[in-house]
Amino acid sequence: MIYKLKQDSNFPAGIRLWGIILSVFTGIIILAVFQDFLHSVRNGGAFFFFESLLFKSFWLLFLPILLLMKYMLQSRPINTLAQICLAVTIATLAHLILVPLTIWFLSVVFRDQSYGFFKVLTYTLSNDLVKILLVYGVFILLLKYTEPKRDKDASQKQTPISQYLTVSSGKNNSRIKLSDILYIKAANPYIAIQLEKKQYLHSETLKSILEILDSRFIRVHKSSIVNIDKVLSYKSRLNGDYDLMLQDGTKIRLSRNYVNDFRNRFEPTPQLNT
């Protein structure tokens, strides 16, 4: 038993968190069904367990929407009040549509008489709208104010003790300053580390080298990493991709998949349009 508990404690923090969230919503559903039972006893009416449980599926719909929101907000961070309001509005509308669809479908499958879509929609609007707004609003605020701290902690853990990197290619081992690196590109089976006047081949992968570099290095393409301190400007290709201009005149392609992360690092403060 002790060994099993130790194994369980090694579960990733994200899995444990969502397990806790699922347990919370399950507990809410049980309490809500019990509340319906007490309400029927108090008023001397009949209690229909399935009907009560059917309408409490409203709470379970939070889970897939919250998971989707977390994934989307990690890839596209929100920084303004307008963006927060938009995210809450979209999540709320999705929930309001899914609730009557779910209840209608389950009632068609398991009951002789189904609940109409618009009847359930108006019921949800009148009884649960504030709950939906609160849950999604609090969730987004928690993500907004806890993710930066985790990113900062992760960045500090990955920052190398030394400002130097030892690169190896075959029998050759060389020590170079991180600040001298312009960019790093894939050159299978090696990676090519480019300095202003010299290039080194290193027995490593882009993914593994990025884990030991500091925060000035950022991936801009599946086959390249740049030292963001060496980037002078970037220009759109009008197809979603960009060209980065480095200090030595080199152009590096910025893939559309990495644009948001690059902009957040290259433009850490809001830019004024002139």
What pLDDT does residue 10 have?
Answer: 47
Asked whether residue 180 carries a pLDDT value surpassing 90, the answer given is: yes
The pTM (predicted TM-score) of the whole model is: 0.43
Lowest mean pLDDT among 56-65, 120-129, 228-237: 56-65
Across the range 188-206, mean pLDDT stands at 90
For 22, list phi and psi in degrees, rounded to 5.
-60, -40
pLDDT of residue 17: 63
What pLDDT does residue 5 have? Answer: 37
**What's the whole-number mean pLDDT along residues 183-187?**
93
Distance spanning both ends of the chain, measured CA to CA: 66
pLDDT for the residue numbered 15: 66
Matching residue, tokens 């600040």: 179
CA 266 from centre of chain: 20
Please give the pLDDT value at position 269. Answer: 53
The secondary structure of the chain in percent helix, strand, coil, rounded to multiples of 5, reads 60, 20, 25
Q: What percent of the chain has pLDDT over 90?
A: 29
Highest mean pLDDT among 2-16, 91-105, 108-122: 91-105
Average pLDDT over residues 34-43: 75
* pLDDT for 114: 77
Averaged over 185-203, what is the pLDDT? 90
Does pLDDT of 146 surpass 60?
A: yes
Residue 258 has pLDDT above 90, yes or no: yes
- If residue 186 lies in a helix (H) or strand (E), which one and from where to where? strand 183-187
pLDDT for 174: 84
pLDDT value for 167: 85
In angstroms, what CA-CA distances link 91 with 56, 67, 107, 174, 260? Answer: 18, 11, 24, 52, 22
Please list the residues that pair with 235 across neighbouring strands: 243
pLDDT-wise least confident of 54-58, 68-72, 148-152, 165-169: 148-152
Angstrom distance (rounded) from CA 94 to CA 45: 34
pLDDT category at 246 given cuts 50, 70, 90 is very high
Domain ranges of the chain: 11-157, 164-266
Write down the mean pLDDT value for the chain: 80
The tens digit of pLDDT for each residue in 77-90 reads 777 888 888 889 99
> Does residue 161 surpass a pLDDT of 70?
no
- The answer as to CATH 3.20.20.70 being correct for domain 164-266 is no
DSSP assignment of 188-256: TTEEEEE-SS-EEEESS-HHHHHHHS-TTEEEEETTEEEEGGGEEEEEE-SSS-EEEEETTS-EEEE-G
Three-state secondary-structure class, residue 49: helix
